[in-house]
Structure formats: C-alpha cells, structure tokens
Amino acid sequence: MNQYFSSLARRGFRPNSPSGVLFGIACVAAAALIRWLLGMTFGNTLQFVPFFPAVILTALFAGAGPAMLALTLSVLTAWFLFVTPYGFGALSPVQMANVALYLVSGAFVIWLAQLFRSTVQQLQAEQAQREMILSEVEHRARNMGAMGAAIVQFSLKDDKETAALINSRMKTLQATNDLITKSPQLQADIETILRQELSPYDLSRCALNGSPLRLPSNAARAVALVAHELITNAVKYGALSRDSGKLALSWSMNGGFLEIEWREDGGPKVPAPTRSGFGTKLIDTTVAGLDGSIEREFRESGFYCRVKLRP
C-alpha cells in the first residue's frame, strides 16, 4: 500500500484513465462533504472555495481530462446542493458571476497543473536516462577493471606481490566509483569511504571521528587512495600489524581545505624511511594534485600524519 501511494505521488494516474476519472469524482465528493461541514459553521457561503483543492489534486495526479470533469461536476454539485439547495434553480447575476469566475480560475489552474505534470514527466524521463547511462558506464568500468586486473596479473606473473598491490589499488578506485555513482549527487561520504577501506580489518580497533562530509568525485578517489596506502603500511609495519595496535582517524574542514589526521598507537616503532617507496610517492602525488600537503611524524607511540587537500 505504501509503495502504491509513493508511486502515485511520483507519477500520478495514467492520463485520462478510468482510475484517474474515479479519483476526480472522489475528490469532488470529498469537497462536497467538506463544504457541507463548513456550511454548518459558516452558513450558505463559500459555495465553490472547498472545490478548488479537488480540481487541483485531480489536475496534478490524473491529468487535464479528469480535472475538467471534476471542474464541471463541482459546479453542478455546488449549484444543486448549496447555491440553490436541492435543485438547479435560476441563478442571480452575482451567482452567475461567481460560477463564471470559478470556471475561469479552475481552467487556469488545470492549465498550470498540466504544465507542471509535463515538466515533472520530462525530468523523470531525463533522470531515468541518466540512471541508465550511469549503469552502463558502471558496467563497462567493471569490465575494464576486470580486464586490467587480468592484464596486470598476466604481465607480472613472476612478481605476484607487485601485481596484488596494483590490483588492490585498482579495486579501491572501483569501490569508490561505486559509492559515487550510487549517490544522487555523485558524491561519496568520507566516513563511508574510510570504513570501506578498513572493513577487511578489525574496526573495533579503529576510531573514526568527524562530522558528515560528502566529497566530490576527485576528492573522494584521492581520499580512498591515500587511505588505502596508509592502511596497507599500517597492516604491514604499523599499529594494525599487532593485536594491541589501534588507529584513530579524524577529519574536518578548515579554510576550504579538508584536513585528515591519522594517528597510530600501540604498534611497533616505525623508523623514518631512508628512501621514498612507490606508495609514498603515490600519496604525495595524489595529495599534491588537489593543492594539498602531507606531514609525517614517526613518533615513539606510532606513526602520525596530517593530510591536507582541497576538495
């Protein structure tokens, strides 16, 4: 039942369908009941005012045909029951003017509602087309990702560790792209990105702190890639390599920049590297691509870094 009303709110009835006609008749009947109840309080006034919502609702949900029927029925109902009670009596000039004004106003409302319905239907068609294109792009991207992984695996069949590292990075980008394409705004929430990257490990050892923040696609991919490299290092050499190790992650916006703090604790002491590996260069290049910077500290308690980039 809820799905039915949700669908009705989005699309309405099929134009000029029997169900739309019945909906219009029901709206007029409900308006007549409301007018009768109002008459008990206000007397024989407001003959046509309660019928306006009936015409508007019918026009919006059922289309112009049922709305014109509702407009006609509302005039006849009001005339028979309230203007000249229980009969189609002669109308005074004032009453005729009220009927004419109501008909003109109702026709104008129906015209506006029809324009609105056409606009909504056009937007819905465009949205459906966009979703179809995004779905096709996502499908093709998955196929290309699988093909790329196969090429890497075949090309580096004698170096499986490097092949696994490259493919893990490709999977990170693909997973982030999935988050982006599934969002109506084509953005991804930073906490969702980080939790997705940390999901293969014990999340109870990872503290995430920061307000909800949606990132545009470029920044989302950059954050995912940087987090992937840092997590890989933490699992191999840092806090996540020991059961006692813990990781604290926090983020905030400051002066138009996204700042991410990465703090490891309880793991082995990580000495400062004497050279930059590929992962370090990848992080630096990714962050620099968004006008950012990264500060690293190799503390006694564990590795610490602050990443700053412009979303």
Interval 9-14 mean pLDDT: 63
Q: Which amino acid is at 269?
A: K
On whether the CB atoms of residues 156 and 163 are closer than 8 A, the answer is yes
Among 48-52, 164-168, 213-217, the range scoring the smallest mean pLDDT is 164-168
Per-residue pLDDT at 153: 60
CA 157 from centroid of its chain's CA atoms: 42
| Three-state SS at 228 | helix
pLDDT digits 0-9 by tens, 53-63: 899 999 888 88
Among 33-37, 178-182, 272-276, the range scoring the smallest mean pLDDT is 178-182
Does residue 96 register a pLDDT over 60? yes
Mean pLDDT (the chain) is 82
CB atoms under 10 Å from CB of 106, counted, come to 24
Per-residue pLDDT at 2: 44
Alpha-carbon distance 268 to 273, whole Å? 14
pLDDT digits 0-9 by tens, 186-208: 788 999 889 988 888 878 889 99
Q: Show the domains of the chain with their CATH numbers.
A: 2-127 (no CATH), 185-309 (3.30.565.10)
* Strands ordered across the beta sheet of 293-298: 206-209, 246-254, 257-265, 303-309, 293-298
Does residue 1 register a pLDDT over 50? no
Per-residue pLDDT at 154: 57
Task: At 63, give phi and psi (nearest 5°).
Answer: 100, 180
Per-residue pLDDT at 72: 92
Q: How far is CA 64 from CA 103, 110, 115, 121, in A?
A: 14, 6, 10, 14
Does residue 152 register a pLDDT over 60? no
Among 133-142, 238-247, 254-263, 296-305, the range scoring the smallest mean pLDDT is 133-142
Q: Using 50, 70 and 90 to split pLDDT, how confident is the model at 9?
A: very low
Per-residue pLDDT at 248: 92
Interval 206-223 mean pLDDT: 90
Alpha-carbon distance 58 to 66, whole Å? 7
pLDDT digits 0-9 by tens, 225-240: 898 889 888 888 888 8
